[in-house]
Amino acid sequence: MAHVSAAERRPQLIDAAIDLMRREGAAAGSTRAVAAELGVAQMTVHYVFGSKAEFTRAVFEELGRRTIDQVRPFAEHPTRGGFTESLAHTVRVLWRVSVEDRGAAVLWDELSVQALRDPVLRETYREHVLDMHRVTTELLTTLAERSGTALAVPAPVVARFFLAGFEGLLSQHLAAPDEEAERRCLEQVIAATVALATGDLPA
């Protein structure tokens, strides 16, 4: 059998772990189970990552990177139209992408809760949250500049407000999905974000 370097094996193991835990939950992601999923010896996981904690951190980082990668193209290449239309289109697409992969969304929630109590994962989680704030801020800034819209409050504040609403709605979807209610709520999240960004708040 041809030798596979640690650098080549690392992404294979991470992908195998994510696939396994998307199907069966975070608790199913033991090094033994992940090794079996990929068809390698358990010691391979420890050789590549050094410890189970480092392996879990690497999986968590990759999940976070994939989430950021869903948003970044919109920030770099926003859709045409005014500020409101472009933001609304972007949010609707992100929502559809988020709810289509329920397994990944549930796994992210599981690992996020674990990260709040795990010193190894806590900093990784914090960095991801800050990255989400940064890329959402970049998106809002790009949309505003291209449409000639002056933001009434700083873009980072609008980004934090939007993410609170969007991520809260996604958590509710995972626990108790209701397509019609979610559609209405998502439109209200969009409207409230636009109102905060433009200063067009109700009296």
Read off the pLDDT of residues 27-50 as tens digits, 9 standing for 90 and up: 898 999 999 999 999 999 999 999
Residues 128-180 pLDDT 10s: 899 999 999 999 999 999 889 999 999 999 999 999 999 999 999 999 999 99
**Residue 52's Cα: distance from chain center in Å?**
23
Instruction: Identify the CATH number of the domain in which residue 3 sits.
Output: 1.10.10
- DSSP 3-state of 61: helix
Per-residue pLDDT at 83: 93
Give the chain's mean pLDDT. 90
Contact 146, 123 (CB under 8 A): no
Per-residue model confidence (pLDDT) at position 78: 65
Q: Are residue 10 and residue 81 in the same domain, yes or no?
A: no
Whether 90 and 32 share a structural domain: no
What confidence score (pLDDT) does residue 1 get? 42
CA–CA distance, 197 with 155 (Å, rounded to integer) = 7
CA distance 163 to 91: 11
Query: Are 44 and 88 part of one and the same domain?
Result: no
> Among 99, 3, 91, 107, which residue's Cα sits nearest to residue 56?
107
Burial (CB count <10 Å: 0-12, 13-18, 19+), residue 146 = middle
Please give the Cα distance from 23 to 25 (Å, whole number): 6
**What is the secondary structure of 111-174 as a DSSP string?**
HHHHHHH-HHHHHHHHHHHHHHHHHHHHHHHHHHHHHTPPPSS-HHHHHHHHHHHHHHHHHHHH
- 174/84 same-domain check: yes
167: CATH: 1.10.357.10
Other Cβ atoms closer than 10 A to 63: 21
Q: How many CB atoms lie within 10 A of CB 185?
A: 17
Share of the chain above pLDDT 90, in %: 60
| 5 shares its domain with 92 | no
Same domain, 41 and 82: no
Q: How many CB atoms lie within 10 A of CB 151?
A: 18
What is the residue range of 186's domain?
54-198
Q: What does the pLDDT look like over 116-126, one tens digit per residue? A: 998 878 988 99
- For residues 96 and 118, membership in a common domain is answered with yes
For the chain, how many structural domains are there in total?
2
What is the Cα–Cα distance from 170 to 36, expressed in whole angstroms? Answer: 32
Do residues 78 and 36 lie in contact, with contact meaning Cβ atoms separated by under 8 Å?
Answer: no
**Does residue 17 lie within any of the structural domains?**
yes
